[in-house]
C-alpha cells in the first residue's frame, strides 16, 4: 500500500519530458514569442510551450517536409512544391490524419508516442479546451495542401481562422479568460501575427508555390505574380506593402484592446508578444520592403528594449 501511494506521488517523467520537448521546439522556431513566453507564470508558460509544440509539427510538415522540427529554421530552397508533387501531398495528408487520430486518443487518456501530443492532450484536459479548436487548426493545415491562392482578404481569413486565430482562442482557455469579448480579441491577435508572417515570408512562400496575399489587393496596386517571382521591389510593391503593414498595425491595436480582459499576471507577456511581433513590420520597413532577399528580424537587443519600453507603459496602467 505504501509503495502504491509513493508511486502516485511521483511525477510522470514521460509527460515532463514531453513538455520539455515542446519548450525546445518553441525555443528553436518561435524566437520572438519565446522571449515573451518566459514572462508567463510557470504553469501557464509550460502550457503555452505545449500548444506551440502541437501546432509546430503540422506546420513544419506542410511547409518543409523532410526537415527536422527541432533544429532551427528550414531552408526554404529545399522545400518540395506541393503543386507538382502529388506523392508529397499524400504523405503529409497521411501524417496529418494520423496526428489527428492520435490527438483524440491522447485526449481520451490513451498512450501516444509523439511528445507534443502527450503534452498538449494534458493541456486540453487541464484547461478544458474544446477539441473543435485543435481540429480546426488541423483542417487549416490540410487546406494548405490544396489551396495556394486567395481572391480577397475575407477569403484569406477562412484559412487564417484555423491556422492562427484558433491558436489565440486556445491561449485564452489556458488563461481561463473565455468571455466572448476576450476570445474575439485573441482571434484578432492571431490574425495580426499570421498576416505579419505572410508579409515577412513572401519570398519563401512563393518558393513553396503559395501566395498568401489577397489577389484583388495585388491587382489594385498593380503587382503581378511575375513581379513576386522576380523579387522586384518598385513603387507599386512598396505601396502595396505599406497598405498591408498599416492594416496589420490596426489589427494589433484592436487586439490589444482585449488584454485588460485577461488575468493580470498574463497581461504583460501577451502585450509584449504583440509588440515584439509588430516589430517585425518595422524590420520590413527598414529593409526597404525587400522581403524577397532579406529576412526581417529583430535583434536580441531590440527585444530587450521593447520589453523594457512595454513594461514601462504597462506598469502604470
Question: 225 by DSSP, 3-state: which?
Answer: helix
Residue 212 has φ and ψ, to the nearest 5°, of -95, 40
End residue of a domain, out of 101, 120, 146: 146
Separation of alpha carbons 258 and 229, rounded Å = 38
Same domain, 102 and 67: yes
Sign of CA dihedral 85, 89, 91, 92: positive
> Residue-wise pLDDT tens for the chain (317 aa)?
444 334 444 456 699 999 999 999 999 888 888 999 999 999 999 999 999 999 999 999 998 766 656 544 433 333 333 444 677 889 999 999 999 999 999 999 999 999 999 999 999 999 999 999 999 999 999 999 999 999 999 999 999 999 999 999 999 999 999 999 999 999 999 999 999 999 999 999 999 999 999 999 999 999 999 999 999 999 999 999 999 999 999 999 999 999 999 999 999 999 999 999 999 999 999 999 999 999 999 999 999 999 999 999 887 66
User: Within a domain: residue 246?
Assistant: yes
Within 13 Å, how many C-alpha atoms sit on residue 241's CB side?
27
Domain with 307 in it: 149-317
Number of domains in the chain: 2
What CATH number did the domain enclosing 314 receive? 1.10.600.10
Separation of alpha carbons 91 and 96, rounded Å = 9
Same domain, 252 and 215: yes
User: Within a domain: residue 6?
Assistant: no
Same domain, 173 and 63: no
What is the DSSP secondary-structure string of 7-54? Answer: HHHS--HHHHHHHHHHHHHHHHH-HHHHHHHTTS-HHHHHHHHHHHHH
Place of cell 523594457: 308
Same domain, 226 and 308: yes
Separation of alpha carbons 259 and 268, rounded Å = 9
Separation of alpha carbons 310 and 299, rounded Å = 16
Place of cell 513553396: 208
Amino acid at each position: 500500500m505504501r509503495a502504491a501511494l509513493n508511486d502516485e506521488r511521483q511525477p510522470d517523467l514521460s509527460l515532463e519530458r514531453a513538455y520539455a520537448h515542446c519548450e525546445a521546439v518553441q525555443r528553436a522556431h518561435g524566437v520572438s514569442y519565446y522571449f515573451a513566453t518566459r514572462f508567463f507564470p510557470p504553469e501557464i508558460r509550460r502550457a503555452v510551450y505545449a500548444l506551440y509544440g502541437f501546432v509546430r509539427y503540422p506546420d513544419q510538415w506542410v511547409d518543409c517536409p523532410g526537415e527536422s522540427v527541432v533544429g532551427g529554421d528550414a531552408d526554404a530552397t529545399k522545400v518540395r512544391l506541393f503543386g507538382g508533387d502529388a506523392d508529397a501531398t499524400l504523405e503529409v495528408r497521411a501524417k496529418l490524419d494520423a496526428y489527428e487520430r492520435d490527438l483524440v486518443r491522447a485526449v481520451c487518456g490513451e498512450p501516444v508516442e509523439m511528445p507534443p501530443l502527450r503534452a498538449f492532450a494534458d493541456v486540453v484536459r487541464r484547461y478544458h479546451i474544446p477539441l473543435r479548436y485543435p481540429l480546426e487548426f488541423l483542417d487549416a493545415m490540410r487546406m494548405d495542401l490544396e489551396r495556394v491562392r486567395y481572391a480577397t482578404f475575407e477569403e484569406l481569413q477562412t484559412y487564417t481562422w484555423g491556422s492562427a486565430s484558433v491558436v489565440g482562442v486556445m491561449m485564452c482557455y489556458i488563461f481561463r479568460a473565455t468571455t466572448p469579448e476576450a476570445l474575439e480579441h485573441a482571434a484578432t491577435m492571431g490574425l495580426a501575427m499570421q498576416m505579419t508572417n505572410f508579409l515577412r515570408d513572401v519570398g519563401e512562400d512563393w518558393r513553396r508555390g503559395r501566395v498568401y496575399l489577397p489577389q484583388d489587393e495585388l491587382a489594385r496596386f498593380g503587382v503581378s505574380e511575375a513581379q513576386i517571382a522576380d523579387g522586384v521591389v518598385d513603387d507599386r510593391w512598396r505601396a502595396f506593402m505599406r497598405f498591408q503593414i498599416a492594416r496589420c498595425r490596426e489589427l494589433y491595436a484592436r487586439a490589444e484592446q482585449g488584454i485588460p480582459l485577461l488575468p493580470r499576471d498574463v497581461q504583460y507577456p501577451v502585450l509584449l508578444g504583440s509588440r515584439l511581433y509588430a516589430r517585425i513590420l518595422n524590420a520590413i520597413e527598414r529593409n526597404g520592403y525587400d522581403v524577397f532577399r532579406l529576412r526581417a528580424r529583430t535583434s536580441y537587443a531590440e527585444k530587450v528594449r521593447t520589453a523594457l519600453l512595454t513594461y514601462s507603459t504597462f506598469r502604470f496602467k
